[in-house]
Structure 1
Amino acid sequence: MADNADRAAVTIQQSLEATLARRATLATRATHDECVDCGNEIPAQRRKAAPWATTCIECQGLREMRRKHVRQS
């Protein structure tokens, strides 16, 4: 019978595996120069300025607005 520590360990492991799977997907998409949110091409100028970017400018702006909204709540 599993106790709370065992269930927590399973939850942590599942979360880690999901995060790693998402990262692998992001890395694959980033090499194709597509925004991970909308699928549109990330403009060359943005890729040059921020080679690590995984989102287009519009989607990144939406992410930042959501983050700002969540912090203020």
Structure 2
Amino acid sequence: MASGWANDDAVQQQIDSTVDDAVAHVRNAISGGESLKFCDECGEAIPEARRKAVPGVRYCIKCQQQKDLHNSTFSGYNRRGSKDSQLR
């Protein structure tokens, strides 16, 4: 039966969920394997220094900057259980 009250550990559950989401997001962003010689996006050559510095690099610096700008909208804050998110 729904009583309108949250569990005693609801705040901790939200914190844990936020941390889990952030860890999953970072793990998905980590590249691995052998670095590419040419950018996956534009086909330009990736400098050897970048390939050595970033294992598993797939993009040139220009394309990686664009990708990072696009992905910067990730807030890292889990609002799944908050009443504030239900009001929007």
Q: Could you state the TM-score of these two structures normalised by the residue count of structure 2? A: 0.42
Normalised to the residue count of structure 1, the TM-score between the two structures is 0.50
Structure with more contact order per residue of length (Cα contacts < 8 Å, sep ≥ 6)? 2
Q: Which has the larger radius of gyration?
A: 2
